[in-house]
């Protein structure tokens, strides 16, 4: 089974302003209104993730600026 992720974005007041739904692509770009975000991970077959699975995700995740206008790109590898 493959992995999927969702990105939930929040504005400066902590209000949820964005929910990507489940994604499987390698990158995701957040908009300017998002000042913080939460990443959710799941197997596509909904099996339970182990501590080892979580550590693998953590090691392969990087968050980098996509541009100078405060957009963010999230590569998932």
- pLDDT tens digit string along 13-49? 999 998 889 988 777 777 778 888 888 899 999 899 9
Domain count, the chain: 1
Task: Indicate the pLDDT class of residue 77, thresholds 50, 70 and 90.
Answer: very low
Pair 60, 41: CB distance under 8 Å:
no
SS (H, E, C) the chain: CCEEEEEEEECCCCCEEEECCCECCCCCEECCCCCEEEEEEEECCCCCCCHHHHHHHHHHECCEECCCCCCEECCEC
| Residue whose structure tokens are 């999230």 | 74
> How far is the CA of 67 from the CAs of 25, 32, 40, 62, in angstroms?
19, 11, 24, 15
Residue 64's pLDDT is 63
Range of the structural domain that residue 46 is part of:
3-73
């Amino acid at each position: 089974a493959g992995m999927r992720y969702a990105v939930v974005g929040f504005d400066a007041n902590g209000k949820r302003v964005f929910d990507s739904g489940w994604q499987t692509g390698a990158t995701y770009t957040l908009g300017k209104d998002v000042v913080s975000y939460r990443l959710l991970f799941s197997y596509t077959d909904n099996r339970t993730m182990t501590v080892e699975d979580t550590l693998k995700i953590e090691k392969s995740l990087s968050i980098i600026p996509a541009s100078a206008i405060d957009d963010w790109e999230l590569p998932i590898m």
